[in-house]
Amino acid sequence: MKASVIVFPGSNCDRDVQVALASAIGGTPDTVEMVWHGDSEMAKTDLIVLPGGFSYGDYLRSGAMSARSPVMREVVARAEQGVAVLGICNGFQVLTEAGLLPGALLPNAGLKFVCRDVQIRVENSQTLFTNGYQQGQTLRIPVAHHDGQYFVEPETLAEMRERDQIAFRYCDADDGRAANPNGSIDDIAGVFNDRKSVLGLMPHPERAADAIHGGTDGQGLLNSLVSALS
Amino acid sequence: MRNEPTITPEQVAEHGLTEDEYQTILNVLGREPNLTELGIFSVMWSEHCSYKSSKVWLKTLPTEAPWVICGPGENAGVVDIGDGKAAIFKMESHNHPSFIEPYQGAATGVGGILRDVFTMGARPIANMNALRFGAPEDDKTRHLVSGVVAGIGGYGNCVGVPTVGGEVNFDPAYNGNILVNAMTVGLADADRIFYSAAAGIGNPVVYVGSKTGRDGIHGATMASAEFDDATEEKRPTVQVGDPFTEKLLIEACLELMATDTIVAIQDMGAAGLTCSSVEMADKGGVGFDLDIDKVPQREAGMTPYEVMLSESQERMLIVLRPGTEAQAQAIFDKWQLDFAVVGHVSDSGRFTGRVAGEVVFDIPVRPLVEESPEYERPWVEPKAPAALAPVTAAMEHMAALKSLLAGPHLSSRRWVWEQYDQTVMADTVRKPGGDAAIVRIHGSDRGLAIATDCTPRYCRAEPRQGGAQAVAEVWRNITSVGARPLAITDCLNFGNPERPEIMGEFVGCIQGMGEACRTLDFPVVSGNVSLYNETHGQAILPTPAIGGIGVLDDLERHADLALRRDGDNLILIGETAGHLGQTIYLRQLLNRGDGPPPPVDLTVERRNGDFVRALIAAGRVDTCHDLSDGGLLVAAAEMAMAGDTGLDLNGPEDAGFWFGEDQGRYLLAVPEADTAEILQLAEQQQVPAQSVGRTGGEALTLNAGAPISLAELRRAHEAWLPDYMRND
Amino acid sequence: MKARVHVSYKNGVLDPQGKAIGLTLANLGFEGVGDVRQGKLIELDLAESDAAAARKSVEAMCEKLLANTVIENYAIELEED
């Protein structure tokens, strides 16, 4: 399987996801290709990852400027051909800004950056991103974001539910705190496009992919991709 | 030289220079300075840049060890951590700017310390911070906490460096002068360290990063003056940070450092272009010739004075090898950062600036640095504290514990650290909340342990003990995760050094620190001094904040504080005399601050710590917590809450045993099967050790009294800060 | 020609910053403040001197970048130099 990680100015989880993905594939980090945002061409690839970070400083709106960078025209074209695209955190924001996923990500309802472990429920395990999980399985994965409040018009949300486009929902409050860390509508933590070939999520699976992280629940997502795309 | 009006005595005073200092300037130049030159002297000779009150004493601190690659004097300290790698680190204050504009002050503090570290060739891998605020009841405190925490997070999160720990204290002594001390640790190849000494006559001097605006003019002199009511009017001098540009600057500089183009590199921090140029020229024994018009400028019509004194953020100065300009520029173009050749290295030994070819300042470099004032400020030996008056227990011990855990001093800081990205870079092994944070050395099975500490109330009561204690506690924190302590950085925050009693506190703390560093083999490799932290003559508590690092050779073998098994014995390591003077117990529950602080016996500290570290390194102990603020019962409760495992504690009834803050102590949780052997080992090595409890259940019980559930304790512990900050 | 673009959340989109401002105003004793919405102001210096052409161009900028029309409205103000 060939995977590519897009690097925007201000991306800061590019290396993290490269390392985790390479480990899932079973290679050294350089088996995952890094693609600079200014490139308008990209080698053939099976998976495109838009990493977390603060591309363009989150200025104007999170993800807004990256979504208009040269490489994104190519990403949109590949997505239309059915190439798998994964957006994590800032990558999710870019995907909504680029129109590859419905909705938008607003500042957290608490108005503060939030970095903590959350529990999320797998809402659809029949996809190339989630085939390694059980339907309804609960995962413990960290979030770290300021603009993670998912918003979508009610009519669109109804359609998304009907088409099983909800990938993950925040669930199971612990420590006496709300399960939903950012006020997302319908507790949504991640969504698919209609074809289930594009996934965006706020939690960081690459930060729960190694024993030293204190949990490996994110590894399943990367393994699912490797088994589906290899 | 351009004709300018003569300098008036008022201008000299406004620049914070004394008459004697001005006379030295006249002698150095052999003529009157113009205004730009006066500005340059004033920032170079400010307390912040020249260390004129502290230099004499700083020289007494030990700075060497076989593993030290570079001690104080460069942008940051460098230590060898094995496997061809080096850790580069420093802590720095941004106190005054943070009081005036908490978000930007704290944010730019983080930005500045990051630059100090990546300037030397390191990728920053962890941030820490030590924050001190006024009393919770003070009108300003809530607003300052909110702004500072958001500012630290706003900057660190965006650049993608995890903030892995720190400390937050409240005390009325900081009402008018908060302390924001930020620390960065970076990782580099030990044979790829970059220094600031300029060399190569004719080599290009290159400016990269953001453009220069009128930000922070007089920031360095502001950081060296006492506050008064007019200070709040000084807001425009506070710099605004741009973490996005900083992130690009990190990547661009590291990319440039991978090529063979750099002769010397230095970030522009306090006193901006002036200080960076002068330091680079002085270290290299050369001159600098700058074309001021070539400096990228954000605003039209800036004077040479403004350009030279601006503290605009996210800027660096580089001396390149000749002919590599195009190669270097391509990298900065790629990252969309300004790049300009602004001058060259000269053999004149002078620091010269020109506008349209005309000289606007011309100062000999050596005297600008070497003739800088150095004061042996008078100081008085601090008065020894009176003996502790008798202490009657405030209340029943478990009620006292709950009250302490739910109070401003010992409550959970989760509200703070959840606003910091602790896990970006995916190498964080131990997050905030433990004794020391641990980050993996990327791509290896080894780790770095990082801790910051200081107990200012001890320093006020007895500066020498307090200084030693601050170093010892950092050493102990690093030890209690199993790491080998290597070196420290210090951030010395004090009041007005022109007052002999404040200078006495400074001297005492330095003496204590020096003793601890020597006995514990824990040298100082970098640091910063922040004086004049006073408002209306009210000084802060003496606060020598210490940041330390240690190395873990095998991440599999480290300890943390969370109890993880039922049926373990809780072993107390170290002597417990029941010292209650200057404790949190006394202060919070009895509203008293009397008595001497706990004595620090550095030989015992070392012996006990070496014993504990060896047990962890041998894989025999995986649960350890050091004893500090609040004493034994608080430490035990923290272990129980962290591991969600109860404890049945047994020991004498006196408050001193459970709440005393005797030094050099640890709690270990040891399986029953290993207990006898570990106690025997301790005895052989003359390390006091005793069993004080047993793990199990979901509650804390003391001497068979009424249990208190962990859920109840945790609620109390977690509630205070979020409740306090609810309406920020 | 100068253009001012005001960008604000659409009705129905939660604006926590506006909400916080409203609460703080009430805490400060300002009465009678209803809904508070916080927006953005973007100022552009344009070479174009024809108002209709300028408006058309700024509208395109809004649709393409300056506003996210999923969640935001925009309004354009033009001012002759």
Residue of A nearest to B252 (CA): A9
- B466 within 8 A of B455, measured Cβ to Cβ: yes
- Shortest distance, CA C53 to any CA of chain A (angstroms): 23
Look up residue A122 and give its two tokens.
């797998």
- C9 within 8 A of C72, measured Cβ to Cβ: yes
Q: How far is CA B430 from CA A134, B378, B426, C42, in A?
A: 29, 45, 11, 43
**pLDDT-derived band at C36, boundaries 50, 70, 90:** confident
Higher-pLDDT residue of A68, B234:
A68
Rounded Cα–Cα distance for residues A209 and A188 (Å): 22
Higher-pLDDT residue of B370, B456:
B456
Does residue A174 surpass a pLDDT of 80?
no
Rounded Cα–Cα distance for residues A68 and A81 (Å): 19
3-state secondary structure (DSSP) of residue B364: strand
Cβ–Cβ contacts within 10 Å for residue C44, how many? 16
- B48 within 8 A of B95, measured Cβ to Cβ: no
Query: Quick one: pLDDT at residue B215?
Result: 81
**CB-defined contacts A:B, below 8 A:** 88
Report which residue type is found at B433: G
As for how many domains chain A has, the answer is 1
Q: Give me the residue from C14, C64, C65 closest to A106, CB to CB.
A: C14
Mean pLDDT to the nearest integer, B260-284: 94
| Nearest Cα residue to B246 out of B131, B127, B143 | B127
Q: Is A204 a catalytic residue?
A: yes
Q: Do A183 and C20 touch (CB under 8 A)?
A: no
pLDDT digits (tens, 9 = 90+) for B604-646: 999 999 999 999 999 999 999 999 999 999 999 999 999 999 9
- C13 within 8 A of C71, measured Cβ to Cβ: yes
Q: How far is CA B242 from CA B154, B297, B659, in A?
A: 10, 16, 45
Query: Quick one: pLDDT at residue B233?
Result: 44
Rounded Cα–Cα distance for residues A129 and B537 (Å): 63
Q: Do A213 and B418 touch (CB under 8 A)?
A: no
Q: Is A123 a catalytic residue?
A: no
ipTM surpasses cut 0.95: yes
Higher-pLDDT residue of C63, B223:
C63
Does residue B691 surpass a pLDDT of 70?
yes
Q: What share of chain A is helix, strand, coil (3-state, %, to 5)?
A: 30, 25, 45
Does residue B725 surpass a pLDDT of 90?
yes
Chain A residues within 8 A of C64 when measuring between CB atoms: 68
Q: Specify whether the backbone of A43 is left (phi greater than 0), alpha (psi in -120 to 50) or beta.
A: beta
Residue ranges of C 17-76 with Cβ closer than 8 A to chain A: 17, 20, 64-66, 68, 70-71
- B304 within 8 A of B297, measured Cβ to Cβ: no
Residue A15 is part of a domain; what is its CATH number? 3.40.50.880
Mean pLDDT to the nearest integer, B114-118: 97
Chain C residues within 8 A of A96 when measuring between CB atoms: 70
Residue B75 exposed, middle or buried by CB count within 10 Å (0-12, 13-18, 19+):
buried
Chain B residues within 8 A of A219 when measuring between CB atoms: none
Rounded Cα–Cα distance for residues B479 and B473 (Å): 10
| Nearest Cα residue to B641 out of B589, B700, B701 | B700
Q: DSSP code of B138? A: S
| Number of residues in chain B | 728
Q: Where are the domains of chain C?
A: 2-79
Task: Calculate the dihedral angle through the C-alpha atoms of B479, B456, B126, B605, rounding to the nearest 10 degrees.
Answer: -10
Q: DSSP code of B584? A: H
Q: What is the DSSP string of B154-170?
A: HHHHHHT--EEEEEEEE
Query: Quick one: pLDDT at residue B693?
Result: 97
- Shortest distance, CA C8 to any CA of chain A (angstroms): 12
Look up residue A191 and give its two tokens.
């969504």
Does residue B168 surpass a pLDDT of 50?
yes
**Selected residue of C8, C61, C68, C73 to mutate for chain A interface (largest A Cβ count, 10 A):** C68
Mean pLDDT to the nearest integer, B265-279: 92
- B550 within 8 A of B436, measured Cβ to Cβ: yes
Displacement of CA A179 from its chain's centroid (Å):
19
Specify the fold of C2-79.
Answer: Mth169; Chain: A , (3.30.1280)
Q: Is A97 a catalytic residue?
A: no
Q: How far is CA A133 from CA A128, A138, B655, in A?
A: 11, 9, 53
Query: Quick one: pLDDT at residue C16?
Result: 75
Q: Do A115 and B423 touch (CB under 8 A)?
A: yes
Query: Quick one: pLDDT at residue B230?
Result: 54
Handedness of CA B656, B660, B662, B664 (dihedral sign): positive
Output phi, psi for B692, to 5 deg: -120, 5
Chain A residues within 8 A of C20 when measuring between CB atoms: 111
Q: Do A151 and C14 touch (CB under 8 A)?
A: yes
Region of poorest pLDDT, from B313-322, B362-371, B625-634, C7-16: C7-16
Which residues neighbour A126 within 8 Å (Cβ) at sequence distance 6 or greater? A135, A164, A196
- Which of A13, A89, A123, A145 is an active site residue? A89
Q: Do A212 and B429 touch (CB under 8 A)?
A: yes
pLDDT digits (tens, 9 = 90+) for B301-350: 889 999 999 988 999 999 999 999 999 999 999 999 999 999 999 999 99
3-state secondary structure (DSSP) of residue B519: helix
**C-alpha angle B22-B28-B33 in degrees, rounded to nearest 5:** 60
Percent of chain B with pLDDT strictly greater than 90: 89
Does residue B365 surpass a pLDDT of 90?
yes
Cβ–Cβ contacts within 10 Å for residue A136, how many? 10
Chain A residues within 8 A of B426 when measuring between CB atoms: 13, 16, 19-20, 206-207, 209-210, 213
B226-246 as b/e: b if 16+ CB within 10 A: bbeeebeebeebbbebbbbbb
Query: Quick one: pLDDT at residue A175?
Result: 62
- B351 within 8 A of B368, measured Cβ to Cβ: yes
pLDDT digits (tens, 9 = 90+) for B388-406: 999 999 999 999 999 999 9
**pLDDT-derived band at B172, boundaries 50, 70, 90:** very high
Q: Do A57 and B244 touch (CB under 8 A)?
A: yes
Does residue B225 surpass a pLDDT of 80?
no
Q: Can you tell me which residue has the tokens 């990852």? A: A49
pLDDT digits (tens, 9 = 90+) for B43-71: 999 888 888 999 999 999 999 999 999 99
Containing structural domain, residue A154: 3-229
Q: What is the DSSP string of B659-724?
A: H---SS-EEEEEEHHHHHHHHHHHHHTT--EEEEEEE-SSEEEETT---EEHHHHHHHHHHHHHHH
Which residues neighbour B233 within 8 Å (Cβ) at sequence distance 6 or greater? none
Query: Quick one: pLDDT at residue B234?
Result: 42
Query: Quick one: pLDDT at residue B568?
Result: 98
**pLDDT-derived band at B231, boundaries 50, 70, 90:** low
- Shortest distance, CA B476 to any CA of chain A (angstroms): 23
Q: Give me the residue from C20, C65, C71 closest to A106, CB to CB.
A: C71
Q: How far is CA A182 from CA A51, A150, B258, C31, in A?
A: 20, 8, 40, 30
Which residues neighbour A82 within 8 Å (Cβ) at sequence distance 6 or greater? A195, A197
Q: What is the DSSP string of B436-450?
A: SEEEE-TTSS-EEEE
Task: Give the residues across from B341 on adjacent strands.
Answer: B206
Q: Taking the model in full, what pTM does it have?
A: 0.94
| Nearest Cα residue to B527 out of B205, B73, B56, B45 | B73
**pLDDT-derived band at B2, boundaries 50, 70, 90:** low
Output phi, psi for B656, to 5 deg: -60, -40
Q: How far is CA A48 from CA A13, B449, B539, in A?
A: 14, 35, 57
- Shortest distance, CA A111 to any CA of chain C (angstroms): 7
